[in-house]
Amino acid sequence: MKKHVILTVAFVLIAALMVGCGSSKYKDGTYKAESEPDERGNNAYVEITIKDGKIADVVWKELSNGVEKDENYGKVNGVIENEENYQKAQNALKASKSYAEKLVEVQDINKVDAVSGATHSHELFVKLVKEALNKAK
């Protein structure tokens, strides 16, 4: 009798776990979040597309005074005044672009690690992703 009760309880628990794992985590659609500009005019934007309950695509943009950061990020009035600072800015920008791809791969914002040199961008990415995904629940 005890074996029967234990097996029944085990079956119910396994069935409950399977149902929980099989349900979609998010509602399909596109969800956005954007930060306010900081004291230097920098802000960021994330757009997450959910398909079949999973993160299918992530668009991550970092902006400086409303313009997407690009090869000019780190220049002063279009000129590289300090090569080392310019390279740091460009390396940080390149590193932060990997966050979106990694999120699609791992499907969990807590598994997207910060890249050295782009930790501020990582903090902002995590914050905005969480905001967007909360809208998808």
Q: Where are the domains of the chain?
A: 25-135
Nearest to 31 by CA among 45, 49, 18, 52: 49
Q: Which CATH number fits domain 25-135: 3.10.310.30, 3.90.1010.20, 3.40.50.300, 3.30.70.120?
A: 3.90.1010.20
- pLDDT value, residue 7: 43
The reported pTM is 0.79
Up-side HSE of residue 93: CA atoms within 13 Å toward CB? Answer: 19
Mean pLDDT for each consecutive 10-residue tract of the chain (137 residues)? 50 46 78 95 96 98 94 92 95 94 97 93 97 97
